[in-house]
Amino acid sequence: MKSYVARLLGHAFGDGYIHATKYYFIYTNKSKDLTNEVKHLVMMCFPEASICERRSIGGIPQIIFYGSTLMKGEFLGALCDDEVDIRTSKDCQQITLKVAKLVKLEKELDYYLRQLKEPFHDLGIKCSEPKFDRIYQTRRGEDKIVKRIWITGHDNLTLFARKIPILNREKLRRIKSLQAGRVNGEGGRPEHARR
């Protein structure tokens, strides 16, 4: 599989949606850079596709688990471009991936987050176990649960910066800020705070 296919799959599982019966793909993200990238990737994969610009998760494709480290990195890079929050405050330095699903699908959400840990692990990056974040109600009155996994520690954050190709400029700036802060492996506190 080509690396750009892995990258498109990552975006599909991030802010993308593939309609099961009508066979179309929707991608929603505020970043113009990322929407342009996805358009380019779609045209590389499907040259005959037409693109209309308008303003659920399942399991990760098995091909990602058996793919090269490059493929895993591209998949995770696109997914993280769409979904991670990079916290750079003095008290909380971490990369957090939050995912929401209907409360009745909590088991699928746990499964998905545990699956996501595998390609990170294959790249040497340790993630937390999935943790509860919150429950909220949508405008349609549906209850959704949010859970998260996160990455902390100097070694993990350094590996993330080296092996996960992030294109979102703001997220890149925040990753560099984490690296400049020299986060250690003990709960994400700056090294100077240990002295």
Tokens standing for residue 33: 């850079």
DSSP single-letter state for residue 194: G
Residue at 158 is within a domain: yes
Angle between helices 169-180 and 154-163 (to 10 degrees): 140
pLDDT confidence tier of residue 177, bands split at 50, 70 and 90:
confident
pLDDT confidence tier of residue 179, bands split at 50, 70 and 90:
confident
* Number of domains present in the structure of the chain: 1
Average pLDDT rounded to a whole number, residues 15-19: 77
Cα(151)–Cα(146) distance, integer angstroms: 17
Residue at 93 is within a domain: yes
Beta strands 84-88; 16-18: pairing state: unpaired
Q: What angle do CA 18, 105, 27 make, to 5 degrees?
A: 25
Nearest Cα neighbor of 168 from 6, 1, 2, 14 is 14
Give the pLDDT confidence score for residue 183 in this predicted structure.
42
Residue at 191 is within a domain: no
Residue at 194 is within a domain: no
The sheet with strand 84-88 has its strands ordered as 84-88, 93-102, 143-151, 131-137
Percent of the chain at pLDDT above 70? Answer: 86
pLDDT of residue 193 exceeding 60, the answer is no
Whether the Cβ atoms of residue 95 and residue 86 lie closer than 8 Å to each other:
yes
Q: What's the pTM value of the predicted model, to 2 decimals?
A: 0.66
The enclosing domain of 166 has a CATH number of 3.10.28.10
